[in-house]
Amino acid sequence: MHSNRPALASLTRRSFLASSALFLGATALDGLEVRTLPVKNTGFPRGKARNLLARQCSPDALKASLIPLDQYKPYPKIGDPAWANLRPETRAALLSQGGPYLHHTYEAASATLFLSYVRTGNRSNYERVRNNNLNALRAVTFAECVENKGRFVDDIINGLWCICEQSFWGVPAHLYIQKKGLGLPDPHEPIVDLFAAQTAADVATVVYLVADRLNAVNPIITERVYVEAERRIFNPLLAENFMWMGLPNAKRRDDLPWDATPPGQIQPVNNWDSWICSNWLLTALLLDRDSARRVAGVQKMMVCLDNFINTYPDDGGCEEGCSYWNEAPGTMLECLELLGSATNGRVNIWREPLLRRMGEYIVKARIAGNLYINSGDAHSHQVLDRDKLFRYGKHTDSALMVALATGDFPENYVPRTVVAIFGEKALRAEPPSTSPLLKDVWLPDTALMAARMQANSAEGPYLACIASDNGKSHSHNDTGSFWVYLDGEPVIIDLGGESYQKQSFDEHRYELPSTESAYHNLPTIGTVQQGVGSAYRATDRRYNADGSTSSLEMNLALAYPAEANLQEWIRGVSLDRSTRQIVIRDRFTLRSNPTQITWSLMTCREVRTADGRLSFLPRKEDRSGEMTLDYDASLLTAEVETMNLTNAGLVASWGPVVYRVLLRTRQPMTHGESRIVFKPIAT
């Protein structure tokens, strides 16, 4: 460890709290020597300084209530009758999943595999090796717990040993956190990213479950895991403020091209915070023998988790989109459950209304089936963690979340985590329900609206629109873009997130078509697209829902840079239930210089063109029918481009081909109005 870092021994309770005081409410700091709170905290620009955990449980109360390591037993260990009393189908499935890994050969991560990220931009090759190793270790651990005959013990040992031998528990794409930057992990500077924390939690869980069996072979195995967790997790997390914590003096993240936080100010946190906190907390609670460090780690983790909760707006919207729900509110759930169980219920903030709204965001973003509103880097198809949904819904008394967790319950459901394994009985005991589909959705802070013909039915046209800004975490330049679905199937789409590559998080991110406004359902002013960052935003939003019509209006002028020359761009989107039509209206005025305007529309359907009408034809797998778009042919021309997809993430969502409709003004204009109408063709 570098000599300029604070020694762990000097991290007293007072010095730790003082260094974190910037993010604690004053009421939690009475009598402590702390710095003055800043006038403006840049760590949560969309939320507010609620500090729910700090206000609910003081450091002294936490220290007094935290269950010691040798007494904390959150899950049944191997040999406990609970493993034998699992559903026979679950026991059989867990054994079946472990079987292929009997006598498994774990793969070492070579230096050149590490370097492939900086050399080629590919991050999946390394991550595939890492994930395969961890998946094998989990599988053989659960299989041994179920069978308890010793068949898988050597495979567990080999997995733990292989992982302990790895130079870095994280992934090469995140090495920008270390001072030497991308390349190979610096052994002098252990850093904690998403996946280092996840790996730590995985190996800590294995040791917790089967330590007796491992120690019977050789106690060095569990000791090695403990030493590696000290070196890689416990000590660095207390000695350093990493950028994902929302604390001062952290090295800036340089992989956030959407972020415009000035140097020296605290960058906003995102899913990294709660995701890492959940794994940090689990590792500390299950593994850390140093009681003082264990308490200090939990205290600091609570400060970081408060920062995460602070980032959320009052409407509970997840700015990173539905793909991050499992790893954002879903991992906050795990933190809060662990804190509650480890303090005999002393830490409990579940009655805070914000937490329920954060959870129900995923219900509000649901289009139909497993399709969700996929703004930013989110994907349209989501496989939600039903166990997390169910537990979260129960904690917050949310019937909507419980219904989404239990509705259309899959016959082949197999729990994937320890907590899910022992929560399956309650999940399956819940009365059958219908997965909810909300008639109207409006999140005023997140600026997301959605509307369908009637509640709990995917039949007919569906409209959604986002009217926020282009500086959100994992943001695309999509302010004012919209979605059109018919009978629960896509017509006008957002490409969504690609499989990540180096360009996804560098200065060339917004050269990827999927991030550009010209490849969303938006206008381009001459050649000028929307700008990058929170300064480029919608204003003057007006939402209305009266039962028969749901609509949202906004001004998009500030979403474009000055060279677009826009005085105003008023966009209105509406679903008229009486006519079963979706109408998109745009009224614009340029300050000068007549310019050709081009509207882009993205679709996964083949398009048939005729003068004044486009027909979006159903795909082979669609159950819905045709949908048409009427436009003013005297004002606009229509052209359809075929876009061949090569990114694996996009191909998985849409297949190898999508289409881009271009509606262009017939002549340059300084002002004008366009009205396009979508309507289903009755069959």
Tokens of 149: 């005959």
The pLDDT score that the predictor gives to residue 203 is 98
Q: How many Cβ atoms are within 10 Å of 100's Cβ, its own excluded?
A: 11
String of DSSP letters for 485-536: EETTEEEE----PPPP-GGGGSTTGGGSGGGSGGGSSSEEETTB-PPSEEEE
The answer to whether 490 touches 604, Cβ cutoff 8 Å, is yes
Instruction: Give the span between the Cα atoms of 192 and 198, in whole angstroms.
Output: 10
- List of residues 6+ apart from 642 with CB closer than 8 A: 657, 659
In terms of Cα–Cα distance, which of 389, 651, 383 is closest to 495?
Answer: 651
Only one residue has tokens 């016959």, namely: 411
Rounded to two decimals, the pTM is: 0.91
Tokens of 631: 């436009």
Instruction: Give the span between the Cα atoms of 618 and 622, in whole angstroms.
Output: 6
String of DSSP letters for 103-172: T--PPP--HHHHHHHHHH---HHHHHHHHHHHHHHHHHHHHHHHH-SSTTHHHHHHHHHHHHHSS-SS-G
Instruction: Give Rg (Cα) of the chain.
Output: 26
Tokens of 66: 């935290």
The pLDDT score that the predictor gives to residue 505 is 85
In 385-481 the beta strands, taken as DSSP E runs, fall at 440-443, 448-452, 461-466, 469-470
The pLDDT score that the predictor gives to residue 21 is 38
In terms of Cα–Cα distance, which of 343, 248, 238, 245 is closest to 297?
Answer: 238
In terms of Cα–Cα distance, which of 561, 521, 500, 478 is closest to 658?
Answer: 521
Tokens of 619: 């795909």
Furthest-apart CA pair in the chain: how many Å? 83
Instruction: Give the span between the Cα atoms of 185 and 168, in whole angstroms.
Output: 6
Instruction: Give the span between the Cα atoms of 538 and 570, in whole angstroms.
Output: 10
Say what angle helices 271-287 and 220-229 make with each other, to 10 degrees.
Answer: 140
Instruction: Give the span between the Cα atoms of 222 and 207, in whole angstroms.
Output: 6
Low-confidence ranges of the chain (pLDDT < 50): 1-40
In terms of Cα–Cα distance, which of 472, 494, 481 is closest to 650?
Answer: 494
Instruction: Give the span between the Cα atoms of 480 and 465, in whole angstroms.
Output: 6
Any idea where the domains of the chain sit in the sequence?
8-350, 440-680
8-350: CATH topology: Glycosyltransferase (1.50.10)
Helix (H, G, I), strand (E, B) or coil at 565: coil
The answer to whether 501 touches 492, Cβ cutoff 8 Å, is no
In terms of Cα–Cα distance, which of 652, 473, 439 is closest to 550?
Answer: 439
In terms of Cα–Cα distance, which of 383, 370, 384 is closest to 489?
Answer: 370
Residue 589's DSSP bridge partners are 568, 671
The CATH code of the domain at 440-680 is 2.70.98.70
Residue 388's DSSP bridge partners are none
Both ends of the chain: CA-CA distance in Å?
Answer: 70
The pLDDT score that the predictor gives to residue 39 is 35
